Chains A and B, each alone.
Chain A
Amino acid sequence: MPLLHVEDLSKNFVIHALGRTIPAFQGVSFTLEAGSLLLIRGPNGAGKSSLLRCLYRTYLPERGQALFAAADGTIDLASAADVDIALLRRTEIGHVTQFLRPRPRVTALDLVAEPLLVAGHSLAEAREAAADWLGSLGLKAAIWQAYPSTFSGGEQQKINLARAMIAPRRLLLLDEPTSALDPDARAALCSRIKTLKAAGVAMIGVFHHPEDIAGLIDVEFHVA
């Protein structure tokens, strides 16, 4: 059985104040195997990010299924209980969003380390792994102890990426993770993605410039 089997997944936004329904995407079906990277293609506004958010359940899918082969059994991400989704987010499914939500008075290093602390690692271990990630993405060590709210878009994206990918996951949802990165950081990210794929991590990505990850894409899916 594949890691993820999406069947007829659809999403519309009902805006009650306007009395309107805004369509996001309709009837999406695909299959994803462990260790493979699926690229979602489509024009702006076709619902690529919305599809990722529906799989992470930031958005509530309207129709359809997304059967995920979790470690403890297959579960439909579109209709699983909220507490089950919360558990999967802590253990199996990661989401790399386009924008960082920095918290006041939390350093760059500690923001990245946090998912490992939640997973029960010691502070020293978590900070060491965080430093490794930030170092490889080329964030200068001088600002690791600073608060990221004032950082540039590229610096924030590096922190966001590291934070989302630091803890082991079986499925990663990547929403334009390279949009603000410099070439060196893009290369570093590609090599990380390659390592993760080899370890069996499945990924679904939206990339503005798919050539950034040329050679790593196993399958493509077009949303109209």
Chain B
Amino acid sequence: MNIEPVTPQPQPHQRRLLPPRLVRQAPLLELRGLSKRYGRIVAVQGVNLELYPGETVGIVGESGSGKSTVLRMLNLEEATDTGTYHLAVPGFTGQNLFALDRFHQRQLRIQQIGIVYQQPHMGLRMQATSGGNVAERLIMAGERRFATLRRAASDALASSEFPADRIDDPPAVLSGGMQQRVQLAKAIALRPALLLLDEPTTGLDVSIQALVLDTLLRLRRERQITTLIVSHDLGVIRTLADRVLVMRHGAVVECGLTDQILDDPQHPYTQQLVSARL
């Protein structure tokens, strides 16, 4: 976070790239000029982002860089100060999602956006059953038939590689890795257009982290779901992301292909961030 006055960030010493020519699809997500401040604290300033259908984009940066704030705003959890947000999904194409009323924002979130938080309790009812947590998403979308609910919940849990015999256990009694699988199942149950991952494997054992990453890779391959992942773990980003944005003090200082950002960073801050890796 940055205290006023904000000094403008130096522009990346990067050669300018052409607009896409081989990729002919329009972006699924377009975010323009996102800014947010909390009193005198500037959390996010002037962030632009496009996600093309099926790609996974990462946001890296240290704590307080604004990366999680961007994610929460894309999930319409918080009001923004400025900015426009478009998702090319049925019924909402061409509309600035930040300007929707709360009813339509909620409808959009339920139908088209899935999210996995670092802290499971932010996304789950810890005392309800795991199956119930996933089914809740479907109930909110209007499904009422018990058999359909049960089947859809167990399908989503199976896709996240959650063990079928634990479907009636509440998240409170599950391990951290299993809790993340329940969150993931809930996030993908309605086949959303956009999946948001906020440090999804931070805090897990390295071996459990590997299994969860593998599940995410397989899901991405099988469902071609457009994904935005926020993480400070550059190994996770290298494994999952096609492209990366580097954030500092609420602004994007550099963006590029993941291997280019990690192996040939251009901006002084990115060079510092990448070389700080163990």
Contacts and interface: CB of A to CB of B under 8 A. Distances in A.
Interface in A165-217: none
Contact of A57 (B18, B55, B260): B260
Interface string B242-278: 1100000000000111011001101010011001000
Interface in A42-84: 53, 57-62, 70, 72-73, 75-76, 78-84
Contacts of B13: 14
Interface stretch (A25-33, A100-108, A135-143, A150-158): A100-108
Given A53-B263, A104-B207, A86 B272 contact: no
Contacts of B79: none
B18 A103 contact: no
Contacts of B275: 17
Nearest to B56: A86
Contacts of B16: 79
Which of B18, B238, B239 gathers the greatest number of chain A CB atoms within 10 Å?
B18
A124 interface: no
B14 A60 contact: yes
Contact of A59 (B18, B55, B264): B264
SS class, residues of chain B in contact with chain A: mixed
B17 A81 contact: yes
A118 B221 contact: yes
Contact of A86 (B21, B55, B238): B55
29 contacts: A14-B266, A16-B271, A17-B268, A53-B263, A58-B259, A59-B260, A59-B264, A60-B264, A60-B266, A61-B15, A62-B15, A79-B15, A80-B21, A81-B18, A81-B20, A81-B21, A82-B256, A82-B257, A82-B260, A83-B23, A83-B55, A83-B242, A84-B20, A87-B22, A101-B238, A104-B206, A105-B207, A105-B214, A106-B214
Interface of A: 13-17, 53, 57-62, 70, 72-73, 75-76, 78-88, 101, 103-106, 117-118
A84 B239 contact: no
B156 to A, nearest CB: 21
A80 B22 CA distance: 9
Given A17-B268, A81-B21, A118-B221, 20 more contacts: A14-B13, A15-B271, A16-B271, A57-B257, A57-B260, A59-B260, A60-B256, A61-B15, A72-B22, A73-B22, A79-B17, A79-B18, A80-B18, A80-B22, A82-B17, A82-B243, A82-B257, A87-B23, A103-B239, A104-B210
Contacts of A73: 21-22
B39 interface: no
B272 A17 contact: yes
Contacts of A76: 18
A60 B260 contact: yes
Contact of A75 (B21, B210, B214, B271): B21
Contact of A83 (B15, B213, B221, B243): B243
Contacts of B242: 83, 86
Q: List the 4 closest A-B pairs by CB distance, nearest first.
A: A104-B210, A16-B268, A81-B20, A59-B264
Nearest to A104: B210
B260 A17 contact: no
Nearest to B255: A82
A86 B50 CA distance: 14
Interface string B157-185: 00000000000000000000000000000
Given A16-B271, A53-B263, A85 B210 contact: no
A207 to B, nearest CB: 22
